[in-house]
Amino acid sequence: MVDLFDNSGADDADAGHAGVEWFPAGAVVGVMTTQPLGRVLDYIAPEEGCFTGAFVEVPLGPRKVLGVVWGVGEGTFARARLRTVNRVLDAAPLQAELRVFLERAADYTLTPLSAMLRLATRVPGLSDPPSMRKVYRLGEGQPARMTPARERVLAVLEEFSEGGFTLKELADYAGVTPSVVAGLVTAGAVREEATPRDGPYVTLDPAKGGLPLSAAQAAVAADLRSAVAAGIYGTTLLKGVTGSGKTEVYLEAVAACLSQGRQALVLLPEIALTGAFLDRVEARFGARPAEWHSGVTMTERRRCWKMVGRGGAQLVVGARSALFLPFRDLGLIVVDEEHDTAYKQEDGVFYNARDMAVLRASLCSAHVVLASATPSLESWVNAQSGKYKRAVLEARFGAAVLPEMRPIDMRVEALTQGKWVSPSLHEAVQLRIDKGEQSLLFLNRRGYAPVTICRACGHQIACRNCDARMVEHRFLKRLMCHQCGEQAPLPTICPACKVEGKLAPVGPGVERITEEVAGLFPHARVAVLSSDLFASARALKAAIEGLVGVIDADLGLQGSDLRAAERTFQLLRQVAGRAGRADKPGEALLQTFQPEHPVIRAILTGDEEAFWAAEAEARRAAGVPPFGRLAGIILSSPDVQQAFALGEDMARRDGPLRDVGAQVFGPAPAPIARIRGRHRVRLLVKADKHVPLQAALEAWIRQFKWSSHLRMSVDIDPQSFY
Partner DNA sequence: AGCACGCCGACT
Partner DNA sequence: GTCGGCGTGCTC
Residues engaged in binding DNA (CB under 7 A): 35-37, 41-43, 59-63, 77, 81-83, 707-709
In 10 A of CB 386, how many CB atoms? Answer: 8
Q: Are strands 263-267 and 330-336 parallel, antiparallel or unpaired?
A: parallel
CB 269 within 8 A of CB 335: no
Closer to DNA by CB, 516 or 715: give it: 715
Picking from 7, 112, 114, the residue whose alpha carbon sits closest to that of residue 58 is 114
Q: Specify the residue, 43 or 327, whose C-beta has the smaller distance to DNA.
A: 43
| Shortest Å distance, C-beta 681 to DNA | 19
Q: For residues 151 and 639, which CB has a smaller minimum distance to DNA in the complex?
A: 639
Rounded to a whole number of angstroms, the minimum distance from the CB of residue 36 to DNA is: 4
Name the minimum Å distance from CB 666 to DNA.
24
Q: Which is nearer to DNA, 8 or 642 (CB)?
A: 642
| φ, ψ dihedrals at 379, nearest 5° | -70, -35
The residue (of 65 and 228) whose beta carbon lies closer to DNA is: 65
Cβ atoms of 253 and 334 within 8 Å: the answer is: yes
Residue 14 CB, nearest distance to DNA (Å)?
A: 29
We find the least distance from the C-beta atom of residue 65 to DNA, in angstroms, to be: 8
Residue 335 · residue 369 · CB < 8 Å: yes
Could you tell me the smallest distance in angstroms from the CB atom of residue 27 to DNA?
13
Nearer residue to DNA within complex by CB, 83 or 474: 83
46/580 with CB nearer DNA: 46
Q: Least distance from C-beta 61 to DNA, angstroms?
A: 4
Least distance to DNA from the beta carbon of 714, Å?
15
CA distances from 277 to 270, 300, 606 (A): 11, 18, 29
* 8 A C-beta contact, residue 268 and residue 337: yes
| DSSP annotation string for 522-553 | TTS---EEETTSHHHHTT--PPBSEEEEETTT
Q: Which residue(s) pair with 404 in the sheet?
A: 587
**What minimum distance in Å lies between the beta carbon of 645 and DNA?**
15
For residues 351 and 534, which CB has a smaller minimum distance to DNA in the complex? 351
82 vs 149, which CB is nearer to DNA? 82
Least gap, CB of 349 to DNA (angstroms) = 12
Interacting residues of 602 by C-beta distance below 8 A, sequence separation 6+: 569, 608, 610, 611, 614
Q: Which is nearer to DNA, 653 or 709 (CB)?
A: 709
SS3 content of the chain, % helix, strand, coil (to 5): 35, 25, 40
Nearest approach in angstroms of CB 73 to DNA is: 7
The answer to whether the CB of 559 falls within 8 A of the CB of 471 is: yes
Burial 595-625 (b: 16+ CB within 10 A, else e): bebbbbbbbbeeebeebbebbbebbeeeebb
- Strand 290-292 to 315-318 pairing: parallel
Closer residue to DNA in complex, CB, 43/305: 43
Residue placing its CB nearer to DNA in the complex, 397 or 706: 706
Q: CA 42, 46, 49, 51 torsion: positive or negative?
A: negative
How do 528-530 and 438-443 pair as beta strands?
A: parallel
Alpha carbons 585 and 402: distance in angstroms, whole number = 7
Mapping DSSP to helix (H, G, I), strand (E, B) and coil, where does residue 418 land?
coil
> What is each CA distance from 225 to 52, 218, 331, 364, in whole angstroms?
34, 10, 12, 18
Give me the count of residues in the chain.
722
Taking the complex as a whole, how short is the minimal distance between the CB of residue 713 and DNA, in angstroms?
11
Which whole-number Å values give the CA distances from 271 to 103, 244, 293, 375, 629, in the listed order? Answer: 28, 22, 7, 20, 31
